[in-house]
Protein backbone atom coordinates (compact mmCIF):
# COMPACT_ATOMS: atom_id res chain seq x y z
CA UNK A 1 0.00 0.00 0.00
CA UNK A 2 1.28 3.48 -0.86
CA UNK A 3 2.41 5.54 2.13
CA UNK A 4 0.81 8.85 1.22
CA UNK A 5 2.52 10.73 4.04
CA UNK A 6 5.90 9.98 2.44
CA UNK A 7 4.57 10.74 -1.05
CA UNK A 8 3.30 14.15 0.04
CA UNK A 9 6.56 15.02 1.77
CA UNK A 10 8.44 13.92 -1.35
CA UNK A 11 6.48 16.01 -3.83
CA UNK A 12 5.17 19.09 -2.02
CA UNK A 13 6.95 22.10 -0.63
CA UNK A 14 6.63 22.19 3.17
CA UNK A 15 3.77 24.13 4.71
CA UNK A 16 1.92 23.43 7.93
CA UNK A 17 3.17 20.88 10.44
CA UNK A 18 0.86 17.93 9.80
CA UNK A 19 -1.49 15.97 12.01
CA UNK A 20 -0.09 12.40 12.01
CA UNK A 21 -2.96 10.76 10.13
CA UNK A 22 -4.46 10.64 6.65
CA UNK A 23 -8.16 11.59 6.51
CA UNK A 24 -10.09 9.15 4.33
CA UNK A 25 -13.58 10.58 4.76
CA UNK A 26 -15.56 12.77 7.13
CA UNK A 27 -19.14 13.41 8.13
CA UNK A 28 -20.53 16.04 10.46
CA UNK A 29 -18.10 16.64 13.30
CA UNK A 30 -16.19 13.39 12.71
CA UNK A 31 -13.09 12.69 10.61
CA UNK A 32 -12.21 9.09 9.72
CA UNK A 33 -8.55 8.30 9.11
CA UNK A 34 -7.30 5.78 6.58
CA UNK A 35 -6.51 3.33 9.40
CA UNK A 36 -10.11 3.54 10.66
CA UNK A 37 -9.47 5.76 13.67
CA UNK A 38 -12.09 8.42 14.33
CA UNK A 39 -11.50 12.01 15.41
CA UNK A 40 -13.97 14.50 16.83
CA UNK A 41 -13.17 17.74 15.03
CA UNK A 42 -13.25 20.82 17.24
CA UNK A 43 -10.92 22.64 14.86
CA UNK A 44 -12.83 22.28 11.60
CA UNK A 45 -9.77 22.47 9.37
CA UNK A 46 -9.06 26.12 10.28
CA UNK A 47 -12.77 26.93 10.87
CA UNK A 48 -13.75 25.78 7.37
CA UNK A 49 -16.23 23.02 8.30
CA UNK A 50 -18.94 25.51 9.26
CA UNK A 51 -21.78 23.01 8.72
CA UNK A 52 -19.68 19.97 9.56
CA UNK A 53 -17.86 17.86 7.01
CA UNK A 54 -19.60 17.00 3.73
CA UNK A 55 -22.92 18.67 4.62
CA UNK A 56 -25.57 17.02 2.38
CA UNK A 57 -27.15 20.25 1.04
CA UNK A 58 -23.75 21.55 -0.07
CA UNK A 59 -22.64 18.22 -1.51
CA UNK A 60 -25.87 18.05 -3.52
CA UNK A 61 -25.55 21.63 -4.77
CA UNK A 62 -21.94 21.10 -5.88
CA UNK A 63 -22.76 17.82 -7.61
CA UNK A 64 -25.65 19.35 -9.53
CA UNK A 65 -23.63 22.41 -10.52
CA UNK A 66 -20.66 20.31 -11.64
CA UNK A 67 -22.94 18.32 -13.93
CA UNK A 68 -24.34 21.41 -15.66
CA UNK A 69 -21.67 24.14 -15.72
CA UNK A 70 -18.38 23.56 -13.97
CA UNK A 71 -16.90 26.94 -14.89
CA UNK A 72 -17.26 30.13 -16.76
CA UNK A 73 -15.64 33.38 -15.71
CA UNK A 74 -17.38 36.54 -14.54
CA UNK A 75 -17.24 37.81 -18.12
CA UNK A 76 -20.68 36.20 -18.34
CA UNK A 77 -23.71 36.57 -16.09
CA UNK A 78 -24.54 33.74 -13.70
CA UNK A 79 -27.79 33.05 -11.83
CA UNK A 80 -26.03 31.11 -9.08
CA UNK A 81 -23.53 33.95 -8.58
CA UNK A 82 -26.37 36.44 -8.27
CA UNK A 83 -28.15 34.20 -5.75
CA UNK A 84 -25.03 33.73 -3.63
CA UNK A 85 -24.29 37.47 -3.57
CA UNK A 86 -27.90 38.29 -2.72
CA UNK A 87 -27.96 35.81 0.15
CA UNK A 88 -24.66 37.03 1.62
CA UNK A 89 -25.68 40.69 1.35
CA UNK A 90 -29.05 40.05 2.97
CA UNK A 91 -27.55 37.96 5.77
CA UNK A 92 -24.61 40.18 6.71
CA UNK A 93 -25.06 43.53 4.98
CA UNK A 94 -27.57 46.33 4.62
CA UNK A 95 -29.88 47.36 1.77
CA UNK A 96 -27.72 48.34 -1.18
CA UNK A 97 -24.64 46.36 -0.14
CA UNK A 98 -22.74 44.61 -2.92
CA UNK A 99 -20.36 41.65 -3.13
CA UNK A 100 -17.08 40.85 -4.86
CA UNK A 101 -16.18 37.16 -4.96
CA UNK A 102 -12.60 35.87 -4.93
CA UNK A 103 -10.79 32.68 -3.92
CA UNK A 104 -9.56 33.03 -0.33
CA UNK A 105 -9.53 35.16 2.78
CA UNK A 106 -6.17 36.66 1.88
CA UNK A 107 -7.51 37.74 -1.51
CA UNK A 108 -10.63 39.14 0.12
CA UNK A 109 -8.54 41.25 2.49
CA UNK A 110 -6.30 42.49 -0.32
CA UNK A 111 -9.32 43.50 -2.40
CA UNK A 112 -10.94 45.20 0.59
CA UNK A 113 -7.81 47.31 1.07
CA UNK A 114 -7.83 48.04 -2.66
CA UNK A 115 -11.44 49.23 -2.50
CA UNK A 116 -10.60 51.47 0.47
CA UNK A 117 -7.75 53.03 -1.49
CA UNK A 118 -9.86 53.44 -4.62
CA UNK A 119 -12.71 55.02 -2.68
CA UNK A 120 -10.61 57.48 -0.69
CA UNK A 121 -7.70 58.21 -3.00
CA UNK A 122 -5.36 57.54 -0.07
CA UNK A 123 -2.70 54.85 0.34
CA UNK A 124 -2.05 54.17 4.03
CA UNK A 125 -3.79 51.27 5.80
CA UNK A 126 -3.97 51.11 9.59
CA UNK A 127 -3.84 47.58 11.03
CA UNK A 128 -3.64 46.13 14.53
CA UNK A 129 -0.84 44.29 16.26
CA UNK A 130 -1.65 40.64 16.86
CA UNK A 131 -3.80 40.34 13.75
CA UNK A 132 -3.68 37.72 11.00
CA UNK A 133 -5.03 38.50 7.54
CA UNK A 134 -3.51 35.89 5.21
CA UNK A 135 -0.27 34.80 3.57
CA UNK A 136 -0.23 36.63 0.24
CA UNK A 137 2.07 39.64 0.10
CA UNK A 138 -0.54 42.34 0.59
CA UNK A 139 -2.36 40.45 3.34
CA UNK A 140 0.91 39.69 5.12
CA UNK A 141 1.79 43.37 4.98
CA UNK A 142 -1.24 44.06 7.20
CA UNK A 143 -0.72 41.05 9.49
CA UNK A 144 0.32 42.17 12.96
CA UNK A 145 2.00 38.91 14.01
CA UNK A 146 5.62 39.68 13.18
CA UNK A 147 6.76 36.07 12.80
CA UNK A 148 4.74 35.74 9.59
CA UNK A 149 6.57 38.72 8.03
CA UNK A 150 10.04 37.45 8.97
CA UNK A 151 12.45 37.56 6.06
CA UNK A 152 10.18 39.78 3.96
CA UNK A 153 12.06 43.08 4.19
CA UNK A 154 10.31 46.03 2.56
CA UNK A 155 6.87 44.46 2.82
CA UNK A 156 4.07 46.74 3.93
CA UNK A 157 5.63 50.19 3.83
CA UNK A 158 2.12 51.63 3.44
CA UNK A 159 0.76 49.95 6.61
CA UNK A 160 0.84 51.46 10.11
CA UNK A 161 0.29 49.19 13.12
CA UNK A 162 -1.45 50.17 16.34
CA UNK A 163 -2.31 48.19 19.46
CA UNK A 164 -5.49 46.13 19.43
CA UNK A 165 -7.90 47.81 21.84
CA UNK A 166 -6.18 51.22 21.68
CA UNK A 167 -8.79 53.47 20.07
CA UNK A 168 -6.77 56.65 20.63
CA UNK A 169 -3.75 55.27 18.78
CA UNK A 170 -6.00 54.12 15.95
CA UNK A 171 -7.56 57.56 15.59
CA UNK A 172 -4.15 59.23 15.59
CA UNK A 173 -3.00 56.91 12.79
CA UNK A 174 -6.21 57.45 10.83
CA UNK A 175 -5.72 61.20 11.04
CA UNK A 176 -2.49 60.83 9.07
CA UNK A 177 -4.26 60.48 5.72
CA UNK A 178 -5.25 56.80 6.01
CA UNK A 179 -7.48 55.03 3.49
CA UNK A 180 -8.81 52.47 5.94
CA UNK A 181 -8.46 50.47 9.12
CA UNK A 182 -8.32 46.69 8.80
CA UNK A 183 -8.82 44.44 11.83
CA UNK A 184 -10.27 41.18 13.07
CA UNK A 185 -13.16 42.05 15.42
CA UNK A 186 -11.99 39.08 17.51
CA UNK A 187 -8.32 38.19 17.10
CA UNK A 188 -8.34 34.45 16.48
CA UNK A 189 -4.65 33.59 16.02
CA UNK A 190 -3.76 35.64 19.08
CA UNK A 191 -5.90 33.37 21.25
CA UNK A 192 -9.50 34.44 20.51
CA UNK A 193 -9.13 37.91 22.00
CA UNK A 194 -12.33 39.96 22.18
CA UNK A 195 -12.25 43.75 21.82
CA UNK A 196 -12.68 45.98 24.88
CA UNK A 197 -16.15 47.41 25.42
CA UNK A 198 -16.80 50.37 23.13
CA UNK A 199 -13.62 49.87 21.10
CA UNK A 200 -15.20 48.86 17.79
CA UNK A 201 -17.77 51.65 18.08
CA UNK A 202 -14.94 54.14 18.64
CA UNK A 203 -13.19 52.87 15.53
CA UNK A 204 -16.38 53.28 13.49
CA UNK A 205 -16.66 56.89 14.65
CA UNK A 206 -12.97 57.61 14.02
CA UNK A 207 -13.13 56.22 10.48
CA UNK A 208 -16.20 58.33 9.72
CA UNK A 209 -14.48 61.42 11.13
CA UNK A 210 -11.33 60.99 9.04
CA UNK A 211 -12.90 59.70 5.82
CA UNK A 212 -11.44 56.21 6.08
CA UNK A 213 -13.04 52.81 5.48
CA UNK A 214 -13.53 50.51 8.47
CA UNK A 215 -12.71 46.97 7.30
CA UNK A 216 -13.72 43.94 9.34
CA UNK A 217 -11.83 40.74 8.56
CA UNK A 218 -14.65 38.26 9.25
CA UNK A 219 -12.87 35.31 7.68
CA UNK A 220 -13.14 33.45 11.00
CA UNK A 221 -15.75 35.47 12.90
CA UNK A 222 -18.39 35.60 10.18
CA UNK A 223 -21.38 33.54 9.11
CA UNK A 224 -22.77 32.70 12.54
CA UNK A 225 -19.67 31.63 14.41
CA UNK A 226 -19.73 34.34 17.09
CA UNK A 227 -23.43 34.18 17.96
CA UNK A 228 -24.75 36.45 15.17
CA UNK A 229 -24.60 36.30 11.37
CA UNK A 230 -21.50 38.51 11.55
CA UNK A 231 -19.30 40.00 14.24
CA UNK A 232 -20.41 43.41 13.00
CA UNK A 233 -23.97 42.51 13.97
CA UNK A 234 -22.87 40.91 17.23
CA UNK A 235 -21.19 44.17 18.30
CA UNK A 236 -23.64 46.58 16.68
CA UNK A 237 -21.10 48.15 14.32
CA UNK A 238 -21.46 48.95 10.61
CA UNK A 239 -18.09 48.60 8.83
CA UNK A 240 -17.75 49.84 5.29
CA UNK A 241 -16.20 46.55 4.18
CA UNK A 242 -16.35 42.99 5.49
CA UNK A 243 -14.37 40.01 4.25
CA UNK A 244 -15.42 36.36 4.37
CA UNK A 245 -13.86 33.01 3.48
CA UNK A 246 -13.10 29.83 5.50
CA UNK A 247 -16.58 28.37 6.07
CA UNK A 248 -18.20 30.40 3.29
CA UNK A 249 -18.19 27.45 0.88
CA UNK A 250 -18.05 24.57 3.39
CA UNK A 251 -14.68 23.50 2.01
CA UNK A 252 -14.92 24.70 -1.59
CA UNK A 253 -12.25 27.45 -1.89
CA UNK A 254 -13.82 30.90 -2.03
CA UNK A 255 -13.76 34.36 -0.50
CA UNK A 256 -15.88 37.48 -0.61
CA UNK A 257 -15.83 41.21 0.09
CA UNK A 258 -19.09 42.79 1.19
CA UNK A 259 -19.17 46.54 0.54
CA UNK A 260 -21.57 49.09 2.03
CA UNK A 261 -23.71 51.05 -0.44
CA UNK A 262 -21.47 54.12 -0.15
CA UNK A 263 -18.28 52.22 -0.90
CA UNK A 264 -19.90 49.99 -3.52
CA UNK A 265 -20.79 53.13 -5.46
CA UNK A 266 -17.09 54.02 -5.72
CA UNK A 267 -16.14 50.81 -7.58
CA UNK A 268 -16.17 51.07 -11.36
CA UNK A 269 -16.03 48.34 -14.03
CA UNK A 270 -12.45 47.13 -14.40
CA UNK A 271 -11.36 48.12 -10.90
CA UNK A 272 -11.63 44.52 -9.63
CA UNK A 273 -11.32 41.14 -11.26
CA UNK A 274 -10.61 37.45 -10.68
CA UNK A 275 -10.50 34.54 -13.11
CA UNK A 276 -11.88 31.97 -10.69
CA UNK A 277 -13.56 34.21 -8.11
CA UNK A 278 -17.33 33.89 -8.30
CA UNK A 279 -17.18 30.73 -10.41
CA UNK A 280 -20.38 28.70 -10.54
CA UNK A 281 -19.08 25.75 -8.52
CA UNK A 282 -17.94 27.96 -5.63
CA UNK A 283 -21.12 30.01 -5.76
CA UNK A 284 -23.28 26.88 -5.59
CA UNK A 285 -21.43 25.91 -2.42
CA UNK A 286 -21.75 29.43 -1.02
CA UNK A 287 -25.48 29.65 -1.68
CA UNK A 288 -26.15 26.24 -0.13
CA UNK A 289 -23.97 27.01 2.91
CA UNK A 290 -25.55 30.38 3.60
CA UNK A 291 -29.05 29.00 3.12
CA UNK A 292 -28.39 26.40 5.83
CA UNK A 293 -26.90 28.95 8.22
CA UNK A 294 -29.83 31.32 7.73
CA UNK A 295 -32.68 28.80 7.74
CA UNK A 296 -31.45 27.08 10.90
CA UNK A 297 -30.19 30.27 12.57
CA UNK A 298 -27.02 28.43 13.47
CA UNK A 299 -25.64 31.50 15.25
CA UNK A 300 -28.15 30.75 18.00
CA UNK A 301 -26.62 27.31 18.51
CA UNK A 302 -23.14 28.87 18.62
CA UNK A 303 -24.27 31.27 21.35
CA UNK A 304 -26.00 28.49 23.32
CA UNK A 305 -22.93 26.24 23.22
CA UNK A 306 -20.68 29.08 24.34
CA UNK A 307 -22.92 29.46 27.39
CA UNK A 308 -22.73 25.70 27.99
CA UNK A 309 -18.93 25.64 27.74
CA UNK A 310 -18.52 28.62 30.05
CA UNK A 311 -20.91 27.08 32.58
CA UNK A 312 -19.43 23.58 32.63
CA UNK A 313 -15.72 23.88 31.83
CA UNK A 314 -14.49 24.50 35.37
CA UNK A 315 -11.64 22.25 36.47
CA UNK A 316 -7.96 22.49 37.49
CA UNK A 317 -5.63 23.47 34.66
CA UNK A 318 -8.17 25.64 32.85
CA UNK A 319 -7.74 29.23 33.99
CA UNK A 320 -9.94 31.15 31.57
CA UNK A 321 -12.10 31.16 28.44
CA UNK A 322 -11.70 33.84 25.78
CA UNK A 323 -13.64 34.59 22.62
CA UNK A 324 -17.28 34.44 21.66
CA UNK A 325 -19.71 31.89 20.26
CA UNK A 326 -17.80 28.96 18.79
CA UNK A 327 -14.58 30.90 18.33
CA UNK A 328 -13.13 30.23 21.77
CA UNK A 329 -9.71 30.21 23.39
CA UNK A 330 -9.22 27.93 26.39
CA UNK A 331 -6.52 29.49 28.56
CA UNK A 332 -4.43 26.83 30.32
CA UNK A 333 -1.93 26.93 33.14
CA UNK A 334 0.61 25.16 30.93
CA UNK A 335 1.77 25.09 27.28
CA UNK A 336 -1.13 24.23 25.01
CA UNK A 337 0.90 22.17 22.55
CA UNK A 338 1.25 19.17 24.86
CA UNK A 339 -2.44 19.25 25.72
CA UNK A 340 -3.34 19.44 22.03
CA UNK A 341 -1.26 16.29 21.47
CA UNK A 342 -2.92 14.50 24.40
CA UNK A 343 -6.34 15.35 22.98
CA UNK A 344 -5.22 14.14 19.56
CA UNK A 345 -4.21 10.85 21.15
CA UNK A 346 -7.69 10.74 22.67
CA UNK A 347 -9.28 11.30 19.26
CA UNK A 348 -10.14 15.00 19.48
CA UNK A 349 -8.80 17.72 17.17
CA UNK A 350 -8.28 21.24 18.55
CA UNK A 351 -6.10 24.15 17.51
CA UNK A 352 -3.36 26.13 19.19
CA UNK A 353 -2.63 29.82 18.71
CA UNK A 354 0.15 32.40 18.83
CA UNK A 355 -0.48 32.55 22.59
CA UNK A 356 1.46 29.51 23.84
CA UNK A 357 -1.00 28.57 26.59
CA UNK A 358 -4.24 28.87 24.60
CA UNK A 359 -6.15 26.09 22.83
CA UNK A 360 -8.54 27.29 20.14
CA UNK A 361 -11.95 25.78 19.43
CA UNK A 362 -13.40 26.34 15.94
CA UNK A 363 -15.88 23.46 15.58
CA UNK A 364 -18.82 23.14 13.19
CA UNK A 365 -21.83 25.24 14.19
CA UNK A 366 -23.90 22.06 14.00
CA UNK A 367 -22.39 20.34 17.05
CA UNK A 368 -24.40 19.88 20.23
CA UNK A 369 -24.14 19.17 23.93
CA UNK A 370 -22.98 15.59 23.32
CA UNK A 371 -19.84 16.69 21.46
CA UNK A 372 -19.16 19.40 24.05
CA UNK A 373 -19.43 16.76 26.77
CA UNK A 374 -16.91 14.52 25.03
CA UNK A 375 -14.43 17.37 24.78
CA UNK A 376 -14.98 18.35 28.42
CA UNK A 377 -14.36 14.83 29.72
CA UNK A 378 -11.23 14.37 27.62
CA UNK A 379 -9.78 17.80 28.43
CA UNK A 380 -10.43 17.44 32.16
CA UNK A 381 -8.72 14.05 32.16
CA UNK A 382 -5.74 15.29 30.15
CA UNK A 383 -5.22 18.30 32.43
CA UNK A 384 -5.35 16.01 35.45
CA UNK A 385 -2.43 14.10 33.96
CA UNK A 386 -4.47 10.95 33.52
CA UNK A 387 -4.57 10.91 29.75
CA UNK A 388 -7.96 10.18 28.24
CA UNK A 389 -9.58 7.16 26.63
CA UNK A 390 -10.06 7.47 22.89
CA UNK A 391 -13.30 9.19 22.02
CA UNK A 392 -15.78 6.76 20.46
CA UNK A 393 -17.25 7.54 17.10
CA UNK A 394 -20.40 8.67 15.46
CA UNK A 395 -23.15 6.01 15.39
CA UNK A 396 -23.55 4.58 11.94
CA UNK A 397 -20.39 6.22 10.57
CA UNK A 398 -18.36 3.34 9.16
CA UNK A 399 -14.70 3.71 8.34
CA UNK A 400 -13.59 3.19 4.75
CA UNK A 401 -10.22 2.74 3.20
CA UNK A 402 -8.18 5.64 1.93
CA UNK A 403 -8.93 6.86 -1.54
pLDDT digits (tens, 9 = 90+) for 148-175: 766 655 556 689 999 999 999 999 999 9
Backbone angles phi, psi at 19, to 5 degrees: -65, 145
Give the least confident one: 136-140, 191-195, 242-246, 343-347.
Answer: 136-140
Name the CATH architecture for the domain at 56-296: 3-Layer(aba) Sandwich (3.40)
Does the reported pTM lie above 0.75?
Answer: yes
Examine the pLDDT at 389 and tell me if it is beyond 50. Answer: yes
Confidence at residue 138, expressed as pLDDT on a 0 to 100 scale: 78
Examine the pLDDT at 399 and tell me if it is beyond 50. Answer: no
Query: In sequence order, what are the residues at sequence separation of 6 or more whose Cβ sits closer than 8 angstroms to the Cβ of residue 169?
Result: 162, 163
pLDDT in tens, 49-94: 999 999 999 999 999 999 999 999 999 999 999 999 999 999 999 9
Map residue 305 onto helix, strand or coil. helix
pLDDT in tens, 263-320: 999 999 999 999 999 999 999 999 999 999 999 999 999 999 999 999 999 999 999 9
Confidence at residue 157, expressed as pLDDT on a 0 to 100 scale: 67
Examine the pLDDT at 140 and tell me if it is beyond 80. Answer: no
| Distance (Å, whole) CA 369 – CA 375 | 10
| Distance (Å, whole) CA 30 – CA 49 | 11
Classify domain 26-52+297-383 at the CATH topology level.
3.90.1150
pLDDT in tens, 224-263: 999 999 999 999 999 999 999 999 999 999 999 999 999 9
Examine the pLDDT at 396 and tell me if it is beyond 90. Answer: no
β partners of residue 33: 23
Torsion over CA: 175, 176, 178, 180 (sign)? negative
Domain ranges of the chain: 26-52+297-383, 56-296
Examine the pLDDT at 378 and tell me if it is beyond 50. Answer: yes
Amino acid sequence: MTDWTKEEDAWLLPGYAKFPFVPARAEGAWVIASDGRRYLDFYGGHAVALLGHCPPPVVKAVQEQAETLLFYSTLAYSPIRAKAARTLARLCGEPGSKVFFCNSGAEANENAMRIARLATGKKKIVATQGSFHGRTAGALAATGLAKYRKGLAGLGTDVAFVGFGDAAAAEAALARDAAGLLLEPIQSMSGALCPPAGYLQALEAACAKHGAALIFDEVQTGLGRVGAPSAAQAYGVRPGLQTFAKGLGSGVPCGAVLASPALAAKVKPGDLGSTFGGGPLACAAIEATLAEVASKKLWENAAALERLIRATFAFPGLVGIQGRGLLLGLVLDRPAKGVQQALLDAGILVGTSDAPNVLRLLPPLTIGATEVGLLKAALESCLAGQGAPRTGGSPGLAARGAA
